[in-house]
Structure 1
Amino acid sequence: MLHSHSEAPFHEHVFKSTHIRSELDPHNYTSGRWLRDDKNERDMRYIGFDFSALCGRILELCPGAGSISSCEKIEGGFNRVFIFTLNNSKRIVARLPFTLAGPSQLTTSSEVATIKYLQVKTSIPIPTILDWNNESSNFIGSEYIIMEHAEGVQLHQKWPKMSSSARVKCIDAIYRTLKEMVDLEFPACGSVNFDWRLQADFKKLPLGDVFCVGPHCAPWYWNCNTSEPRYYHNTHPNQGPWTTLDKYSDGLVDASISRIPPCDSAAEKRASYHGSVQAHLDLLKHTRSVLKQMCADPRIQAAATPTLFHPDLQKRNIFVSEDDPSKITGIIDWQSASIEPAFWYADEVPDFATPDDFENNVCAKAFDACSRFSTPKLSGPRLMDENIFRPFIYSYRTWKDGAVGMRHELIETTQRWNELGFKGSSPYVLPSPSELAQHRREYKLFVAAQELKHDLASLLNTATDGWVPPDSWEATESAHKEVFDGMLTAVLTNKNPDDDEPVKDEVVLRSIWPYDLPS
């Protein structure tokens, strides 16, 4: 709900919080830089708003406090968080979304609606929302959510000192807590929102009270990222909600088509596996046909129950009791929560269940057992052959990944059609032997590009998208150039590359290099 506030009291609080602003930059992204498209990445995370007004509103909401003692700025990929500590020791959290988080107004109202819906329907501990506004024209100058700080301590702080038995007990508590949410039933896939908040031209299905299932707020359905513009000359916006799985799959394919420009001005710089505009359009036409036939399969229908689940279930988003870490005191970061077919979550493994050593192997087994017992709707698809769902998972991003990745999924699915349990034959016609040989060459280069990205991230100690902490920027940028020069020298001095070698010259190396390079 939009709130109307008098601006009269704000000047009384500004002077009490002036020192806070001098200690941090509330507007610019300062938590890191990117080795690829750095300026644009940071520009998309700039928020122009009135920080003093935000401070004033925090104090208005906490009448027992007289001033703000400190403020911590935390930045994620899609929002900026300010944690205010007041002079009475109370902590308040303000979250402001970046434009690339999703559609304006809808993203904020959906997050609030999802939290309030869960607070009505479940006992999941989620911090109380004190105030919110989903119009950037408000007195603060940005959409925002102000909420109480979660009780307890983040699980990742307690995890290293917890015994195996304590970790297993904690995992069991997490899934017993989330069981209530997974058991909820929904009439469609999309995003939870307020019935009365949606514009008349948006589709919606009622959930009772003031809630509904409205359009899906994931950024890939909207034109909110300047790095990935949308074009609707070949398709119409298709953002849901979707009442059937085949309509949901149409939404994925339409999202992929909307990324394809009328003309690819950067074609010469792209890797050979990327594919032309027409190649993508043809590929997605086949993809739509294959997905529709797969959607009719009873096994996939059973694994596609509309399900709401946490979008990023990691240790940093789970709060536990300081004295008893098996007691869940809060779960935060619901910004991207959405209702998806249950199989959409099948390949997601939280960081507390990654089997990379003996301790975590125990945790992986506990995760599997607890998920099966408490959330069978999610564990059921996980037990199925993952190749059954891969065409769905990759169908919305072919222009970003390259046509060869989706083509590979169609070829693999078609070749294994009956082995995967599908009846009849796949509507996709396999390429000719010569076309298949060309595909295999392109796919080998595609795999090499993915391996290069992950190897560089490990070598340079960066995220795979090239994100670098600010204190490491200069050293990382220099190391990045040295690594490229070294690899280029190796390519240029290899006069007789093997036939199996996908990177044979400088042009190919530059085409698959994931980060920015001088011309």
Structure 2
Amino acid sequence: MGSKPCTPSPHPLPNRLSQDSDSKDTVQRYPVFWNRSPGEPELYGGPSRNCGPWKNFPIYCLGLIEAGFSRLPKQDAGNFDSLPHQGSVEDHIRLLKISQEVMQKLISDKRIQDAATPALLHPDFHKRNIYVSPEDPTTITGIIDWQSASIEPAFIYANETPDFAALPDPDLEEILLENDSEDHKPPTPQSKELKDASICHQTYDVCMKGLTLRLRPARLLDPTLFRVFQYCHTSWRDNATALRQELVELSARWTEMGLQGSCPASLKEEELKKHAQDYEDFETVQRLKLWLRDSLQTNSDGWVPNDVWDAAREAHRAVYDEWIQTAREAEARGEDMTVAKAERLWPLDAR
């Protein structure tokens, strides 16, 4: 089995690292710099010159920040009709500068240095990319989609959970377990699936901590410590509010997590109030996307197979009408959600 071919990188790579480089500390390549997935190229305001490979962790972090700057549009920020939680170009510039200061403090922490050991793992290790024998499904015959594989700091991979080991929605799990406990009813098929999923999740977690030694230090630490490294370079794609929230959470728990000094990301009271409003809108959009994905049986980008297009279009119209009706009722009650705001928050082009 093969996988889709990679698009050649527009950036030349050095033939090799210099002989004085310490290979054990080298991060070879970070694929976000040459992401050619559908919808990605237009994110780049200009190519970053700092595309690696990097000889050490601090230089790698600088590459992330410069990648974040390279994605910002070069046009006047006023030309972009976006929601407040997207943030202006100026907002993103400020956040990237703060992120750089925060990372400079974080990388001096011995725990984070230990969790940044270079590691090479499959970046998309989900069921759709794993082939098994038709005679014996416990025998893996092939794994595809390696084109984005790269050597990364171990913490980049540490908290990724493949779909075959993912836990179900916590609310659904609680409801099913409550139903099974009533009157000592026999477990339902859904409850059995939940139990099986829990066993898979625990087994995967034990294996990653016990057998994948390079990931162990990172998996034992709070993920909050690493999120600024994971999201700063895509702030324009993911919006300013998402990155700011990671900085707010890190700042609030700075001392609790044993970090030295003060966090450079502290916000003033007025800024926190404005951020809270923007973050509420951001979470609304995320919940809406999940609702649409589940209701339309699609992926997060709205793609559906050709043979179910007509049914998906009808379902889309129904959920869109329901969304607007909900906003209309909220507006009538004098709440913050209005029909106009609901229109802007709707994540799909079709209406």
Output aligned runs, 1:41-190, within 5 Å: 93=1, 95-97=3-5, 99=7, 103=9
Are 2:340 and 1:507 aligned? yes
**Shift in alpha-carbon separation, 1:328–1:482, aligned structure 2, 3 A:** closer
**Shift in alpha-carbon separation, 1:306–1:452, aligned structure 2, 3 A:** same
Output aligned runs, 1:375-386, within 5 Å: 375-386=212-223
Instruction: Give the secondary-structure state (helix, strand or coil) at the position aligned to 1:288.
Output: helix
Which residue in the other structure is 1:231 paired with?
A: 45
**Shift in alpha-carbon separation, 1:295–1:433, aligned structure 2, 3 A:** same
Are 2:272 and 1:366 aligned? no
Output aligned runs, 1:269-308, within 5 Å: 270-308=82-120
Q: Aligned letter for 1:352?
A: F
CA distance in structure 1 between the partners assigned to 2:249 and 2:27 by the alignment: 35
Q: Is the 8 A contact 1:222 1:230 kept in 2?
A: no
* Deviations, residues 33-90 of structure 1 (Å, cap 9, x unaligned): xxxxxxxxxxxxxxxxxxxxxxxxxxxxxxxxxxxxxxxxxxxxxxxxxxxxxxxxxx
Which residue in the other structure is 2:306 paired with?
A: 470
Instruction: Give the secondary-structure state (helix, strand or coil) at the position aligned to 1:343.
Output: helix
After alignment, is 293-302 or 486-495 more displaced?
486-495
CA distance in structure 2 between the partners assigned to 1:240 and 1:348 by the alignment: 23
Which residue in the other structure is 2:327 paired with?
A: 491
Which residue in the other structure is 1:335 paired with?
A: 147
Give the C-alpha shift of residue 303 in structure 1. 0.3
CA distance in structure 1 between the partners assigned to 2:116 and 2:96 by the alignment: 21
Unaligned runs of 5+ in 1: 1-92, 107-198
* Deviations, residues 489-513 of structure 1 (Å, cap 9, x unaligned): 33234344465x5xx2233222221
* Deviations, residues 136-185 of structure 1 (Å, cap 9, x unaligned): xxxxxxxxxxxxxxxxxxxxxxxxxxxxxxxxxxxxxxxxxxxxxxxxxx
Q: Aligned letter for 2:205?
A: D
2:80 corresponds to which of 253, 259, 267: 267
Which residue in the other structure is 2:179 paired with?
A: none
Which residue in the other structure is 1:516 paired with?
A: 349
Q: Is the 8 A contact 2:2 2:144 kept in 1?
A: no
Unaligned runs of 5+ in 2: 169-193
Q: Which runs of 4+ in 1 moved over 6 A?
A: none
Give the C-alpha shift of residue 354 in structure 1. 2.2
Are 2:267 and 1:431 aligned? yes
After alignment, is 471-480 or 328-337 more displaced?
328-337
**Shift in alpha-carbon separation, 1:487–1:318, aligned structure 2, 3 A:** closer
**Shift in alpha-carbon separation, 1:254–1:203, aligned structure 2, 3 A:** farther
1:395 corresponds to which of 216, 222, 232: 232
Q: CA RMSD in A?
A: 2.8
Give the C-alpha shift of residue 381 in structure 1. 1.1
Instruction: Give the secondary-structure state (helix, strand or coil) at the position aligned to 1:395.
Output: helix
Give the C-alpha shift of residue 426 in structure 1. 1.3
* Greater C-alpha radius of gyration: 1
Which residue in the other structure is 1:354 paired with?
A: 166
Output aligned runs, 1:448-459, within 5 Å: 448-459=284-295
After alignment, is 271-280 or 476-485 more displaced?
476-485
Give the C-alpha shift of residue 246 in structure 1. 1.9
Q: Aligned letter for 1:436?
A: L
Which residue in the other structure is 2:190 paired with?
A: none
Question: What TM-score do the two structures reach when normalised by structure 1?
Answer: 0.56
CA distance in structure 2 between the partners assigned to 1:498 and 1:388 by the alignment: 40
Q: Is the 8 A contact 1:205 1:214 kept in 2?
A: no
Instruction: Give the secondary-structure state (helix, strand or coil) at the position aligned to 1:330.
Output: strand
Instruction: Give the secondary-structure state (helix, strand or coil) at the position aligned to 1:468.
Output: coil
Q: Is the 8 A contact 1:492 1:505 kept in 2?
A: yes
Which residue in the other structure is 1:253 paired with?
A: 65
Give the C-alpha shift of residue 319 in structure 1. 3.9
Q: Aligned letter for 2:214?
A: K
Q: Is the 8 A contact 1:204 1:214 kept in 2?
A: no
Give the C-alpha shift of residue 452 in structure 1. 0.6
* Deviations, residues 212-236 of structure 1 (Å, cap 9, x unaligned): x896261x3137466534223xx84
Q: Is the 8 A contact 1:204 1:241 kept in 2?
A: no
Which residue in the other structure is 2:182 paired with?
A: none
CA distance in structure 2 between the partners assigned to 1:345 and 1:498 by the alignment: 45
* Deviations, residues 301-336 of structure 1 (Å, cap 9, x unaligned): 000001111122223433445555444443333111
Instruction: Give the secondary-structure state (helix, strand or coil) at the position aligned to 2:85.
Output: coil
* Deviations, residues 435-493 of structure 1 (Å, cap 9, x unaligned): 21111011111111111111111111110111111111122123223322332233234
Q: Is the 8 A contact 1:203 1:241 kept in 2?
A: no
Which residue in the other structure is 1:165 paired with?
A: none
Q: Is the 8 A contact 2:3 2:144 kept in 1?
A: no
Q: Aligned letter for 2:117?
A: T
Q: Is the 8 A contact 1:203 1:215 kept in 2?
A: no
Instruction: Pick the structure with more strand per residue.
Output: 1
CA distance in structure 2 between the partners assigned to 1:384 and 1:477 by the alignment: 44
Question: What TM-score do the two structures reach when normalised by structure 2?
Answer: 0.81
**Shift in alpha-carbon separation, 1:407–1:382, aligned structure 2, 3 A:** same
**Shift in alpha-carbon separation, 1:385–1:214, aligned structure 2, 3 A:** closer
Output aligned runs, 1:409-420, within 5 Å: 409-420=246-257
**Shift in alpha-carbon separation, 1:214–1:360, aligned structure 2, 3 A:** closer
Number of aligned pairs? Answer: 319
Q: Is the 8 A contact 2:30 2:52 kept in 1?
A: no
**Shift in alpha-carbon separation, 1:95–1:439, aligned structure 2, 3 A:** closer
